Amino acid sequence: MPMAGFEFSRSPLVAAHLAQTLADDSCGALVTFEGWVRNHNEGRCVERLEYEGYEALGLAEGERIVAEAMERFGLLHARCVHRLGVLGLGEVAVWVGVSAAHRDEAFAACRYIIDEVKRRVPIWKKEYYADGDSGWVNCESCGAS
């Protein structure tokens, strides 16, 4: 049975445990991506992030993206988990893992999933800065005008 899916999580992600769920004797490649909470963005010091999701539509769109990758790259397993809520520096905000017979399709599929998730899944990120200010990424610069 292929493991394929998209999930939201309100608790910390354990990358090693997630990768184990994609194990398969017929796979010669596992490629994973971890998106980490970084301490800076666009020249500002970031102290923590808050993720908010439109969960019903986000799950449906995330599942569509994983299914597209399975089909397009001929994967055996693919999984993506995105955190919601408040995250501290260094925490894993998003995890993508794919396993396939060979590495080429695994690399390409992992890249496809993270790029499409960032572009299409209704998730919003609020940055809290060291100076006490905060803002919604991709929304504030326009909102201020």
Partner 1 sequence: MPRVRVRYFAILREHTGCAAEALDTAAATAGELYRELDGRYRFPRLASLKVAINDEFRDWNSAIADGDDVVFMPPVAGG
Interface with partner 1 (CB under 8 A): 35, 51-54, 56-57, 60-61, 82, 93-94, 114, 117-126, 136-140, 142-145
Nearer to partner 1, 28 or 36 (CB): 36
- Are 32 and 107 spatial neighbours (Cβ–Cβ below 8 Å)? no
Shortest Cβ 76–partner 1 spacing (Å): 24
Nearer to partner 1, 47 or 64 (CB): 64
Shortest Cβ 41–partner 1 spacing (Å): 10
For the beta carbon of residue 142, count every other beta carbon within 10 angstroms.
7
Nearer to partner 1, 76 or 121 (CB): 121
Q: Indicate the pairing of strand 92-100 with strand 29-36.
A: antiparallel
